[in-house]
A = this chain, B = another copy of it.
Amino acid sequence: MVFRCFELYEHKGKLSAVNRGGKPAHGLPGYTSCTEIEDPVDAAFIYVPAEGVLGALEDAAAAGIRNAVILSSGFAEAGKEGAAMQEEVVRAARDLGIRFMGPNSMGFANLAHGSAMTSVKTRLPCRHGRLALISQSGALLNEMGKIAHLSGIGLAFTGATGNEASMSITDLLEYLVDDDSVGAICIYSEGIRDHGRFMAAAMRAKELNKPIVLLKLGRSEISGAIAQAHTGSLIGDDGVFDAMCRQTGIIRVSSLEEAVTTADLLGKIGPIAPARIAMCSISGGACALFADLSDEYGVEVVQYTQETKDALRAVLPSFASTLNPLDTTGALVQHPEIWHEVIPILARDANTGLVIVSQPIPNTDAERLTLSSTIEAIVAGFRAANKPAVIVDFSVQTRSSEQIAFIKEAGVDVPVQGLDIAVRALAHLQRWSERVSRPAIAQDLPAPCGEHPVGERETLQYLSSRGAPVIPARLVATADEAAQFAEELGGRAAYKIASPDIAHKTEANGVRLDIAPGDAKETFASIVAAASAYDPSARVEGVLIAPMRDAGTEMIVGVTRDPEWGLAITVGTGGVLTEILEDSETRLLPIDEAHARDMVLSLKGAKLLQGFRGSEPADLDALCKAIVAIGDAAAALGPDIAALEVNPLRVSGAQVEALDALAIYAA
Which residue from B257, B360, B612 sits with its C-beta under 8 Å from A395? B257
Question: Which chain A residues (274-328) contact chain B, with CB distance < 8 Å?
Answer: 282-289, 291-296, 301, 317-321, 323-325, 327
Say yes or no for A230: interface residue by CB 8 A criterion: yes
Minimal beta-carbon separation of A102 from chain B (angstroms):
14
Minimal beta-carbon separation of A290 from chain B (angstroms):
8
Question: Which chain A residues (179-198) contact chain B, with CB distance < 8 Å?
Answer: 188, 190
Q: Could you give, for residues 361-381 of chain A, a 1 whenever the CB lies within 8 Å of some chain B CB and a 0 otherwise?
A: 001101100000000000000
B146 engages A397 (CB within 8 Å): yes
Docked pose: A657 CA to B125 CA in angstroms: 71
| Complex contacts, A225 vs chain B, CB 8 Å | 321, 323
A220 engages B291 (CB within 8 Å): yes
Which residue from B287, B579, B581 sits with its C-beta under 8 Å from A612? B579
B139 engages A394 (CB within 8 Å): yes
Docked pose: A80 CA to B231 CA in angstroms: 65
B78 engages A319 (CB within 8 Å): yes
Given A150-B396, A292-B219, A366-B121, verify A229-B285 contact (CB < 8 Å): no
Docked pose: A589 CA to B283 CA in angstroms: 36
Say yes or no for A580: interface residue by CB 8 A criterion: yes
B607 engages A147 (CB within 8 Å): no
B140 engages A227 (CB within 8 Å): no
Minimal beta-carbon separation of A141 from chain B (angstroms):
9
| Complex contacts, A258 vs chain B, CB 8 Å | 420
Minimal beta-carbon separation of A173 from chain B (angstroms):
18
Minimal beta-carbon separation of A271 from chain B (angstroms):
25
Minimal beta-carbon separation of A280 from chain B (angstroms):
11
Say yes or no for A255: interface residue by CB 8 A criterion: yes
Say yes or no for A398: interface residue by CB 8 A criterion: yes
Which residue from B215, B327, B418 sits with its C-beta under 8 Å from A257? B418
Q: Could you give, for residues 245-260 of chain A, a 1 whenever the CB lies within 8 Å of some chain B CB and a 0 otherwise?
A: 0000000001111100
| Complex contacts, A190 vs chain B, CB 8 Å | 284-285, 288
Say yes or no for A73: interface residue by CB 8 A criterion: yes
Q: Could you give, for residues 146-175 of chain A, a 1 whenever the CB lies within 8 Å of some chain B CB and a 0 otherwise?
A: 110010000000000000000000000000
Which residue from B226, B285, B325, B580 sits with its C-beta under 8 Å from A137? B285
A217 engages B143 (CB within 8 Å): no
A284 engages B137 (CB within 8 Å): yes
Closest to A140 in B: B285
A284 engages B607 (CB within 8 Å): no
A576 engages B613 (CB within 8 Å): yes
Docked pose: A466 CA to B357 CA in angstroms: 57
Say yes or no for A667: interface residue by CB 8 A criterion: no
Given A395-B143, A580-B604, A608-B580, verify A301-B222 contact (CB < 8 Å): yes
A285 engages B254 (CB within 8 Å): no
Question: Which chain A residues (312-366) contact chain B, with CB distance < 8 Å?
Answer: 317-321, 323-325, 327, 329-331, 360, 363-364, 366
Docked pose: A223 CA to B398 CA in angstroms: 28
Docked pose: A223 CA to B123 CA in angstroms: 39
Minimal beta-carbon separation of A482 from chain B (angstroms):
31
Which residue from B1, B256, B287, B396 sits with its C-beta under 8 Å from A394? B256
| Complex contacts, A572 vs chain B, CB 8 Å | none
Given A79-B319, A220-B295, A331-B78, verify A288-B230 contact (CB < 8 Å): yes
Say yes or no for A577: interface residue by CB 8 A criterion: yes
Minimal beta-carbon separation of A297 from chain B (angstroms):
9
Docked pose: A288 CA to B223 CA in angstroms: 4
B579 engages A140 (CB within 8 Å): no
| Complex contacts, A211 vs chain B, CB 8 Å | none
Say yes or no for A631: interface residue by CB 8 A criterion: no
Docked pose: A320 CA to B79 CA in angstroms: 8
Closest to A282 in B: B139
| Complex contacts, A301 vs chain B, CB 8 Å | 222
Minimal beta-carbon separation of A627 from chain B (angstroms):
20
Say yes or no for A605: interface residue by CB 8 A criterion: yes
Given A79-B318, A190-B285, verify A296-B254 contact (CB < 8 Å): yes
B285 engages A188 (CB within 8 Å): yes
Closest to A215 in B: B289
Docked pose: A140 CA to B1 CA in angstroms: 42
Say yes or no for A218: interface residue by CB 8 A criterion: yes
Question: Which chain A residues (207-248) contact chain B, with CB distance < 8 Å?
Answer: 215, 217-227, 229-231
Docked pose: A289 CA to B220 CA in angstroms: 9
Q: Which of A295, A319, A418 has the most CB of B within 10 A?
A: A319
Q: Could you give, for residues 89-127 of chain A, a 1 whenever the CB lies within 8 Å of some chain B CB and a 0 otherwise?
A: 000000000000000000000000000000001011000
Which residue from B139, B360, B576 sits with its C-beta under 8 Å from A283? B139
Which residue from B295, B323, B608 sits with its C-beta under 8 Å from A229? B323
Docked pose: A576 CA to B615 CA in angstroms: 12
B295 engages A222 (CB within 8 Å): yes
Minimal beta-carbon separation of A181 from chain B (angstroms):
25
Docked pose: A146 CA to B289 CA in angstroms: 17
B420 engages A226 (CB within 8 Å): no
Given A139-B394, A150-B398, A222-B325, verify A607-B579 contact (CB < 8 Å): yes
Closest to A143 in B: B394
Given contacts A143-B394, A220-B291, 17 further A-B contacts (CB under 8 A): A77-B329, A78-B331, A79-B319, A139-B394, A140-B289, A219-B292, A220-B294, A222-B301, A223-B289, A223-B291, A223-B292, A224-B288, A225-B323, A230-B327, A258-B420, A580-B604, A580-B605
A residues near B, CB below 8 A? 1, 73, 77-80, 121, 123-124, 135-137, 139-140, 142-144, 146-147, 150, 188, 190, 215, 217-227, 229-231, 254-258, 282-289, 291-296, 301, 317-321, 323-325, 327, 329-331, 360, 363-364, 366-367, 394-398, 418-420, 576-577, 579-581, 604-605, 607-608, 612-613
Q: Which 3 A-B pairs have the closest CB atoms?
A: A230-B284, A79-B319, A220-B295
Can you pick out 23 interface pairs between chain A and chain B where the beta carbons lie within 8 Å of each other? A80-B319, A139-B286, A140-B286, A143-B360, A143-B394, A150-B396, A150-B397, A217-B285, A219-B295, A220-B292, A220-B294, A220-B296, A222-B294, A222-B324, A225-B323, A230-B288, A255-B289, A255-B420, A256-B395, A257-B396, A257-B418, A576-B612, A580-B612
